[in-house]
């Protein structure tokens, strides 16, 4: 294999750090001068930034495991595209699809949500929110999702290179200063508007817009929801956390999982469901999943039933079924 | 990039942003203007609660906390966090302890690890006693 030292690619993760600092300063300045929409709150923003610093620190261990795993998989590669313009492009697109799949899992499997929830825990939406990143990704096993790319023959450093570009792009999405862009761009690319939807707790916006750079994955797989003026995003979680304490921001969902799993009187299936079922699942129905929140919203607002991001009224399908001719 | 330069950039950037945010942020954080704001925030988070079910609303002296006592289902709790608010419907599984604190004070501890223990001051002993009794009844303490 190409030795890691033979591949000359810039460290996009490191190069992006000046972009983050300058980007935040520009956004803050524009908002301060009243030239752009958006809000900053001192404790909230500092919590996000310090979560980002913690992510860099814990990410070192993750990166070691990731590179080791990918290097192992790369040794058994099926193809050998090398590092050139088309392999970089192809790797970028495939990696973005991998991120779409992983991101959907982060929202639909509680074990992964425990890692990702802190990124959604700010009730603000600005460039610092982008840096509110997890400290516990090593426990998710998500490095396994990188292996197919390495098996296909993409060099581990190439995968990290395109991943760094992907993350830098995503940083720029976390802002209210940019409205909707030119329609063709909004159709293909993930934009601040699409990502505002993703960070919202409005029922119609839950579990939507998982795309990272390209939004087409959401359009293909039916998870796309457009930002609507009449239902402006309400940022944060369905049940917001009441703390800026970094420890609890990072670990609160893991603690909740632990408490749920050791509850007395549960079956083994129920304990496993508390770990791997969608967030909001409970054995006694005392909590609500995204699907249940959407159904509740439609019951309270029947005129919204069947609109993008919302289900039909439960009775409607049954009624339709009744008028279908018998075979 | 040189690790020293990178570290300096991170630390320097953090300090600069911290200073600017301190200058730009509003002082004092969120305050509930009136009872209606507390009810609106509560209903927004719990739309399934019938507004006719809402009884008395009690706000703390600093107007950063409000309790919305429902006639049938738990006690609504609105708490300022920075310039935003956190809302809960406190039932039997939510409160670890409810203790009187002096003439008009109340100490609360929650099972939810993201809700810090609260030491609240009310305008009158009547307000405090009403909230404490409602919470104890709701929590079965």
In the predicted model, what is the mean pLDDT of chain A? 93
Question: What value does the mean pLDDT take over residues A283-303?
Answer: 95
Q: Which residues constitute the domain of residue B18? A: 1-30
Q: Of the candidates A165, A180, A195, which is a domain's last residue?
A: A180
Count Cβ–Cβ pairs < 8 Å, chain A vs chain B.
95
Please tell me the predicted confidence (pLDDT) of residue A132.
98
Percent of chain A with pLDDT over 70: 94
Q: Select from B84, B93, B116 the residue whose CB has the most chain A CBs within 10 Å, as the one to mutate to test that interface.
A: B84
- Domain-located, residue A223: no
User: In this complex, do B1 and A11 lie within 8 Å of one another by their Cβ atoms?
Assistant: yes
Q: Of the candidates A135, A162, A180, which is a domain's last residue?
A: A180
Residues B80-106: tens digit of each pLDDT: 999 999 999 998 889 999 999 999 999
- Whether residue B7 is found in the same domain as residue B53: no
Please tell me the predicted confidence (pLDDT) of residue A206.
98
Question: What value does the mean pLDDT take over residues B30-35?
Answer: 93
Q: Select from A11, A38, A41 the residue whose CB has the most chain B CBs within 10 Å, as the one to mutate to test that interface.
A: A41
Q: Which of A140-144, A151-155, B22-26 has the lowest mean pLDDT?
A: B22-26
- Whether residue B56 is found in the same domain as residue B113: yes
Number of folded domains that form chain A: 2
Residues B54-83: tens digit of each pLDDT: 989 999 999 999 999 987 778 999 999 999
Q: Determine contact: A45 vs chain B, CB below 8 A.
A: yes
Number of folded domains that form chain B: 2
Please tell me the predicted confidence (pLDDT) of residue A317.
54
Q: Which residues constitute the domain of residue A132? A: 17-180
User: In this complex, do A242 and B81 lie within 8 Å of one another by their Cβ atoms?
Assistant: yes
Chain B nearest-CA residue for A127: B17
HEC readout, chain A: CCCHHHCCCCCHHHHHHHHHHHHHHHHHHHHHCCCCCCCCCHHHHHHHHHHHHHHHHHHHHHHHHHHHHHHHHHCCCCCCCCCCHHHHHHHHHHHHHHHHHHHHHHHHCHHHHHHHHHHHCCCCCCHHHHCCCCCCHHHHCHHHHHHHHHHHCCCHHHHHHHHHHHHHHHHCCCCCCCCCCCHHHHHHECCHHHHHHHCECCHHHCCCCCCCCECHHHHHHCCCCCCCHHHCCCECCCCCCCCCCHHHHHHHHHHHHHHHHCCCCCCHHHHHHHHHCCCCCCCCCCCCCHHHHHHHHHHHCHHHCCCCCCCCCHHHHHHHHHHCCCC
- Domain-located, residue A147: yes
User: In this complex, do B22 and A42 lie within 8 Å of one another by their Cβ atoms?
Assistant: yes
Residues A54-111: tens digit of each pLDDT: 999 999 999 999 999 999 999 999 999 999 999 999 999 999 999 999 999 999 999 9
Q: Select from A233, A242, A258 the residue whose CB has the most chain B CBs within 10 Å, as the one to mutate to test that interface.
A: A242
Residues A14-53: tens digit of each pLDDT: 889 899 999 999 999 999 999 999 999 999 999 999 999 9
Q: Of the candidates A180, A195, A216, which is a domain's last residue?
A: A180
Does residue A133 surpass a pLDDT of 50? Answer: yes
- Whether residue B24 is found in the same domain as residue B55: no
Question: What value does the mean pLDDT take over residues A162-188?
Answer: 97
In the predicted model, what is the mean pLDDT of chain B? 91
Residues A215-263: tens digit of each pLDDT: 999 999 999 999 999 999 999 999 999 999 999 999 999 999 999 999 9
- Going by pLDDT thresholds of 50, 70 and 90, the confidence category of residue B110 is very high
């Amino acid at each position: 294999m190409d030795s890691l030292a033979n591949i000359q690619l810039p460290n996009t993760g490191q190069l992006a750090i000046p972009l983050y600092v300058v980007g935040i300063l520009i956004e803050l300045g524009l908002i301060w001068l009243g030239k752009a929409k958006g809000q900053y709150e001192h404790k909230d923003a500092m919590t996000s930034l310090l979560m980002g610093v913690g992510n860099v620190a814990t990410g070192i261990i993750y990166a070691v495991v990731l590179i080791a795993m990918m290097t192992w998989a790369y040794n058994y590669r099926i193809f050998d595209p090398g590092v050139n313009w088309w392999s970089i492009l192809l790797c970028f697109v495939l990696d973005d699809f991998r991120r779409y799949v992983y991101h959907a899992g982060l929202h639909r499997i509680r074990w992964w949500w425990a890692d990702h929830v802190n990124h959604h825990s700010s009730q603000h939406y600005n460039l610092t929110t982008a840096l509110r990143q997890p400290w516990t990704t090593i426990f998710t096993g998500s490095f396994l999702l990188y292996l197919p790319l390495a098996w296909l023959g993409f060099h581990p450093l190439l995968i990290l290179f395109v991943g760094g570009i992907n993350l830098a792009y995503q940083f720029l999405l976390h802002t209210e200063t940019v409205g909707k862009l030119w329609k063709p761009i909004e159709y293909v690319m993930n934009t601040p508007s699409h990502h505002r939807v993703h960070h919202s707790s409005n029922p119609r916006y839950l579990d939507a817009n998982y795309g990272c750079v390209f939004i087409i994955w959401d359009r293909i797989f039916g998870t796309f929801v457009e930002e609507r003026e009449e239902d402006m995003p309400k940022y944060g979680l369905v049940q917001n956390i009441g703390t800026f304490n970094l420890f609890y921001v990072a670990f609160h969902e893991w603690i909740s999982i632990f408490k749920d799993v050791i509850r007395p009187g549960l079956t083994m299936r129920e304990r496993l469901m508390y770990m791997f079922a969608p967030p909001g699942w409970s054995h006694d129905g005392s909590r609500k999943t995204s699907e249940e929140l959407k159904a509740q919203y439609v019951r309270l607002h029947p005129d919204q039933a069947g609109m993008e991001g919302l289900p039909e009224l439960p009775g409607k399908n049954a009624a339709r079924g009744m008028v279908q001719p018998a075979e | 990039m040189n690790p020293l330069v990178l570290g300096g950039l991170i630390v320097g950037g953090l300090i600069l942003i911290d200073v600017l945010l301190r200058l730009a942020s509003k002082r004092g954080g969120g305050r509930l203007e009136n009872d209606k704001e507390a009810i609106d925030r509560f209903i927004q988070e719990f739309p399934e609660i019938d507004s006719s079910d809402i009884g008395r609303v009690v706000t703390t002296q600093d107007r950063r906390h409000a309790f919305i006592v429902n006639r049938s289902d738990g006690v609504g709790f609105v708490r300022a966090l920075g310039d935003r608010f956190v809302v809960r419907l406190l039932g039997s599984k939510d409160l670890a302890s409810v203790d009187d604190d002096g003439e008009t004070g109340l100490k609360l501890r929650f099972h939810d690890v993201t809700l810090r223990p609260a030491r609240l001051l009310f305008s009158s002993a009547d307000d405090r006693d009403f909230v404490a009794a409602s919470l104890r009844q709701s929590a079965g303490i």
